[in-house]
A and B are shown apart, each in its own frame.
Chain A
Amino acid sequence: MSLITTRDLTLRYHGQTVLHGVDFSIARGEIVTIVGPNGSGKSSLLRALIGALKPASGEVIRQAGLKIGYVPQKLQIDATLPLTVHRFLNLPLRQSAATIATALEKAGVPDLSKRQMSALSGGQFQRVLLARALLNTPDILILDEATQGLDQPGAAAFYRQIEDVRRDMGLAVLMVSHDLHVVMAASDRVLCLNGHVCCEGTPEIVADAPEYRALFGSGTKGALALYRHDHNHDHHHDHEHGHS
């Protein structure tokens, strides 16, 4: 039984088709990572899955009563908005102090509740976002480049936190990431996007796929290629989609 399924999903954003023909599903307990160059439709796919972007065609089917914990790419809180961590975690629903304490604990930042959001470091901020996503004991955690702006050790620590959370709570995790070498190792399945699904499968299969190598380079199994991949590879060739 999959938590979220898409059928032949096509997405448009500002009048342009950013993604077409996506058949995707994620099951309980799975960790799936989406990779792809900038503008490949990764964030749009996530936004469609949470319901923030309407499909231009095709459909998104969410399991009835599905609870989603969403960690956005970035959250720009205007400096004019005073907000403590505690207050932030009470949005949009008021939570008991115990629930908040538990969520902060799980996210690895137990002592922050009285701090101003604007006074947090990048790593603390992302963990507070994670804590917020865990509040309603979600079935699936969706993270959109949640480690953007963190340094390498910070990002690695954040992903270890995600692993712990999945182990403790048994939820599915769907994330978009640039940190290929970190996330690929931890994922059950990788989805490589570039306007459509280039290739899909276990990390090993995807790392060996010609479509993936065309995007991220070869040799290092993609690990170090993320700063020099070619955004202009064309898609006139036909793909074999036999990996999933």
Chain B
Amino acid sequence: MLDDFIFRAALAGLGVALAAAPLGCFVVWRRMAYFGDATSHAALLGVALALATDLPIVAGVLIVALVMALIFSGLSERHVSADALLGVLAHAALALGLVAVSLLPGRSVDLSAYLFGEILAVTRSDLAVIWIGAACVGALLIWRWQPLLTATLSPDLSTASGGHPRRENLVLTLALAITVAVAIKVVGALLIAAMLIIPAAAARPLTRTPETMALAAIAVGAASALSGLAVSFAFDTPTGPSIVAIAAGLFALTTSVGAALKRG
């Protein structure tokens, strides 16, 4: 079955949804949307690094995403209003990445593959990387779930009960870098942040606890990946954007249902 490119694409989409959706809940809860943006846009710089040094793309993206995420989280800790700064960095990272890739000598690089992903070209080894990465992110989140939630509510509350909120921040930063590295092939640098935020936001109106919200986000992410793939195949639309468009549709649906339930 793995010989079928549609099947591989479906598995790749599911793997990314599995990692990105629950991580995205934390991104939403902590108001880190720009942070997610900045880190995923930095992935393009990672692509440039990988192409320049003959590293595998995943390794280049992982290294750069990790370094950038550490810099971003350091900045947002030090500056009370990091919002504008992160906004600047998010787009600067994207622009610099585009410039860096175009400056690479002797190659013509298909930029759109990195900007929008090429899920239909996922190989067996890509699949292995995606699922190993997703498993790492899942394991990190399950392992640190309780302390992560506590630190998300209040760093001081976490410290007072013997926790280490800065260490939990690092866990999230690492998980984010891994997710960006495995998702670039599937949805591309431009839309990774969408796979983080939209499923989580779509899950919110229908849930009452953090755990159900994370599970519902995974369901939304997975459904979007599979339907997006089907839509893309049927109508010959670009796959990454189709997945994100379906997720956005589900968000609109759950938000209206949630509002209706509240009124009723």
Chain A residues in the interface with B (C-beta under 8 A): 47, 50-52, 68-70, 72, 75, 77-78, 80-84, 87-88, 90-94, 116, 136, 142
Contacts and interface: CB of A to CB of B under 8 A. Distances in A.
Interface residues of B, number: 28
A154 B210 CA distance: 30
A92 B157 CA distance: 9
B159 A50 contact: yes
Contact of B208 (A80, A82, A93): A82
A52 B161 CA distance: 11
B150 A142 contact: no
B30 A70 contact: no
Contacts of A47: 156
Given A80-B29, A91-B149, A91-B150, A72 B156 contact: yes
Nearest to A91: B150
Given A50-B156, A77-B153, A82 B146 contact: no
Interface in B155-202: 155-161, 163, 200-201
A171 B136 CA distance: 43
A66 to B, nearest CB: 11
B209 A51 contact: no
Interface string B129-145: 00000000000000000
Contacts of A72: 154, 156-157
A51 to B, nearest CB: 5
Contacts of B159: 50-52
Given A50-B159, A81-B29, A81-B152, A92 B209 contact: no
Nearest to B30: A78
13 contacts: A68-B160, A75-B153, A80-B29, A80-B201, A81-B29, A81-B152, A82-B210, A83-B210, A87-B210, A91-B146, A92-B146, A93-B146, A136-B161
Interface string B17-57: 00000000000111100000000000000000000000000
Contacts of A51: 159-160
Interface of B: 28-31, 146-147, 149-150, 152-161, 163, 200-201, 204, 207-210, 212-213
Given A52-B159, A81-B29, A91-B150, 6 more contacts: A47-B156, A50-B160, A78-B28, A80-B29, A84-B208, A92-B161
Contact of B163 (A84, A88, A90, A92): A92
A54 to B, nearest CB: 11
A72 B157 CA distance: 7
Nearest to A144: B156
A82 B213 contact: yes
A43 B31 CA distance: 24
Nearest to A77: B153
Nearest to A80: B28
Nearest to A81: B29
Contacts of B154: 72, 75
A153 to B, nearest CB: 27
Contacts of A88: 153
A16 to B, nearest CB: 13
Nearest to B209: A87
User: Which of B31, B152, B161 counts the most A-chain CB atoms under 10 A from its CB?
Assistant: B161
Contacts of A69: 160
A116 B208 contact: yes
Nearest to B162: A92
A83 B212 CA distance: 10
A93 to B, nearest CB: 7
A82 B156 CA distance: 20
Given A70-B160, A72-B156, A82 B150 contact: no
Nearest to A135: B161
A142 B156 CA distance: 12
A136 B157 CA distance: 13
Q: Which of A50, A51, A80, A136 has the most CB of B within 10 A?
A: A80
A101 to B, nearest CB: 18
Most buried by B among A82, A84, A94: A82
A201 to B, nearest CB: 28
Nearest to B158: A92
A92 B213 CA distance: 18
